[in-house]
Amino acid sequence: MRIGIIGAMQIEVDNLKKHMENTTEEVISGVTFTSGTVAGAEVVAAVSGVGKVFAAICAEAMILTYHVDCVINIGVAGTLCDELGVMDVAIADRVVQHDMNTSALGDPVGLLSGLNEVYLPADEKLVEGIRKVVEAKGINHKVGTIATGDLFLSKDSTKVKLHENFGAIAGEMEGGSIGHVCYVNKVPFAILRSISDGKGAEMDYQTFAVKAAQVGIEIILDFIKSVA
């Protein structure tokens, strides 16, 4: 199995690369892809950049160039539910793009025109494999909908709205578009997010983002070893 790992920021991938052997690098569409092995498993890792377009570019290039068998998006997110706080973990069983809105045409908010879907499902086997690793590590976690949009979620009113409208447990800026690309290419995907902020997002984010990203890497390393 060849596993694709996509992070939004450099801090999310650097520590993973430290555990990779026999690495080679290639730049495609401005994205640096690092190929190698982790515990004998083939891995391709890349930093997409922040936002839906960068994430989609990265995912499409990874799938078409490296023919990965699955894509896992790691990173940080803001909590949208009471059950998750700083350093906890959200695992997506489905993703939604909350800023897709053609409701003026009578469509539900979040509808992906052309797919006629609001929610895109993550791969059940990947989700369960990651969940087992998280549970074994004793990390508080929740499986549910992760909402994606080109917006840093700092307003409580926006967070409440996303939870009420979509049942979302966490919000971020890349996972939904990576899921979209994987869905149309028929590639299994999973989204793993460490919670980096609670109340007062602007203040807490800088404090906890690095630590939360490290939690995600540790989970992914254990997951790779479990399937290698």
Catalytic residues: 12, 197
DSSP type of residue 146: E
3-state secondary structure of 174: coil
Contact predicate 171/201, CB 8 Å: no
For residue 13, CA distances in Å to 67, 128, 189, 227 come to 20, 22, 17, 20
Please check whether residue 1 is in contact with residue 69, taking contact to mean a CB–CB distance below 8 angstroms: yes
- Determine the Cα angle at 125 with ends 120 and 128, to 5°: 95
Q: Are 225 and 219 in contact (CB under 8 A)?
A: no
In contact, 193 and 6? CB cutoff 8 Å: no
3-class SS of residue 37:
strand
186: which 2 tokens?
């028929």
**Rounded-to-integer distance, Cα 185 and Cα 228, Å:** 24
* Residue 138: other Cβ atoms inside 10 A: 7
The Cα 89–Cα 212 span in angstroms is: 9
